[in-house]
Structure 1
Amino acid sequence: MEHIDVELLAPRGNVTVIRLPWRKFPGVFIQGDSFSILEAAARAAARTAPEVQELADDLSKILALYAKTLNEHNIPLPYTTATYEDSTELLASGRLQSPDLRRFFELVSGYLDYDFDDSDWMAITTGIQGIPAFDYPLLGSAALTVRVRQENGQENVTIAVTGMPNEALRIRLDTLFDVLTHEEK
């Protein structure tokens, strides 16, 4: 057994919020007996509908504590609380040469702390073949959708990035488009 120091961010009890030294975001710690009650409710949910609501209510209370605790400690939530589809807006758009597309995705992913890899790139290159536009989600510290529109017979792509309103991210995306477009000349 290893003993470590953790940050206790919420009051002691059956459910609390802690941060482990090697993790960026805090986690929810649930006492074993409390967790077993949640597990039993989940098992029962498979049989009857009322327990589904009770389980959802219990989990919502835990998530509310987590969100409140992070807010009290000025730690951003690692997820969004707004309804994504209803709250998105165009953050940036521009034209790039096709060879710059992967670099664009890698850099934007870095802004989001998202690990863009070869499987992402394969999905994008497959998705844009033979269709006018392809949407690809990037989910990290923010949620973005990148629409790629291949221009007929040209080496250019048009890109539109949508997501929750975020001025800092908007500025970074505009700058990225400026840099990549400038490099083309």
Structure 2
Amino acid sequence: MSDEEVPAVASKQDTAVETGRRRGVLIRSASRVPDQPGLIHAGWIWDANAWVFCEILASLVGYEFDDLDWQAVGTALPNTDDERAELWYSYPLIGTKGTLEVTLAQAVGGSEVSVEVRGEADDALRACIALVCDLAARYEMSR
């Protein structure tokens, strides 16, 4: 399917069957990699929300995400590319209640960051992670 054939969506929060670009609008699908083991959620967030996003994910598993954690993620993020799998950046969140791996990549030329969250999650944690991603894609979040 070419970029011109990708179905349009009403808003960035809507999901589409395919991913791609159409008229400068980035279209993401939460189900773009459904068969990957351990994948809890895949989507996108605004780059300005990346720090808060990581902090909230960390809190869900009982990990205190601090300035040094952000220094590692924030330094790596500009060198990522969401269109090249080998240029995504992964960071482990190992907490008292569980472990998550957050993988991020900057949309080149855009202000979006593609995210994937992996680990083991029950339905409640899975719903919380999806909600955090949706909020970080819809609203401006601050620390």
TM-score (norm 1): 0.49
Taking the TM superposition and a 5 Å limit, the aligned residue runs for 1:94-133 are 94-131=43-80, 132-133=87-88
How many equivalent pairs are there?
Answer: 98
- Residue 177 of structure 1 and its aligned partner are, at CA, apart by 1.6
Indicate which of 129, 132, 135 corresponds to 1:179. 135
Other-structure match for 1:164:
120
Taking the TM superposition and a 5 Å limit, the aligned residue runs for 1:16-165 are 89-131=38-80, 132-140=87-95, 141-165=97-121
The 1-side partners of 2:121 and 2:67 are apart by 29
Other-structure match for 1:84:
none
- Residue 181 of structure 1 and its aligned partner are, at CA, apart by 2.2
Q: Structure 1 regions of 5+ residues with no counterpart?
A: 1-87
Identity across matched positions, percent:
29
- Residue 164 of structure 1 and its aligned partner are, at CA, apart by 1.6
Q: Structure 2 regions of 5+ residues with no counterpart?
A: 1-36, 81-86
The 1-side partners of 2:137 and 2:46 are apart by 8
The 2-side partners of 1:180 and 1:94 are apart by 10
The 1-side partners of 2:55 and 2:134 are apart by 16
The 2-side partners of 1:98 and 1:128 are apart by 9
The 2-side partners of 1:127 and 1:181 are apart by 20
Other-structure match for 1:7:
none
Residues 151-160 or 165-174, more deviating: 165-174
Question: Over residues 48-77 of structure 1, what are the superposed CA-to-partner deviations in whole Å (9 max), with x where a residue is unaligned?
Answer: xxxxxxxxxxxxxxxxxxxxxxxxxxxxxx
Question: Over residues 66-124 of structure 1, what are the superposed CA-to-partner deviations in whole Å (9 max), with x where a residue is unaligned?
Answer: xxxxxxxxxxxxxxxxxxxxxx5111121111000001011111111111100000000
Q: Report the AA paired with residue 91 of structure 1.
A: I
Other-structure match for 1:4:
none
The 2-side partners of 1:117 and 1:135 are apart by 16
Higher RCO (C-alpha 8 Å, min separation 6)? 2
> Which protein shows a greater Rg?
1
Going by fraction, where is helix more abundant, 1 or 2?
1
The 2-side partners of 1:90 and 1:104 are apart by 17
